[in-house]
Structure 1
């Protein structure tokens, strides 16, 4: 149920974040940074519950999982869009295809490890937290260069009056 709610809120959040990003188009990286930072907080919260440092309550588990899923899923379209901006003039289809392939390979490796006999699942929480934490330095080092957006803004034509 938690994943269902996280998926629903993530999908709705993606629409809201997309609208905000349309309004503030040159701040896409900052939106992703905020989403990932709050997601890190919720993943740490979940890990502390899992390690029984914090009191184990069903409401806290639901809140931390749904919040982290929602935030991370809301940021995925922004990551794809930012990648297209950074890779310009490479075609969007090529950029998105490579990103999807890398994502699928990482997912295959992540889930494929579970096929090892007698392996626990506690490492999965740490991998998730670490992978989201690794995005922060990469995003902070990234320069805001929106050449595709600037080109689109310059070439937009106003409709002719007939």
Structure 2
């Protein structure tokens, strides 16, 4: 009887460990949340935003001569769709996508609301077969823009466009 109780206890303990420690969903995907490198606090974001004020004022007041965009916004759905699209397109172009680069840009005409825009482009390394028997197989450096990869623009600007952090 004592062995049977230990057996049942072991099964219950195994189920609890599976449920609480492995954090596996019913479809088998891992739902562990990992904080990305480079997270900053809201205070650090405010410091970065304030450090940009003089640069923004110089451009907006001296060159553009009207309020200009200070931020870009994409919906979560658009971001997820873009990442899936860019990763698939990168594979078709023969690249392994390893990230996204954000560029500052400007619309070429005054017809747009605010000159400044921000756009994303996929980055990665070319997917090449490397036959190397060396013990120290050097991987190519990552992070280059993928030639021919589609970028994502068409974000919403700040409200108003010149609004500072936080909005």
Greater helix content: 1
How high is the TM-score relative to the length of structure 2?
0.24
Please tell me whether Structure 1 or Structure 2 has the larger radius of gyration of its CA atoms.
2
Which protein is richer in strand relative to its size?
Answer: 2
Answer 1 or 2: higher relative contact order, Cα 8 Å, separation at least 6. 1
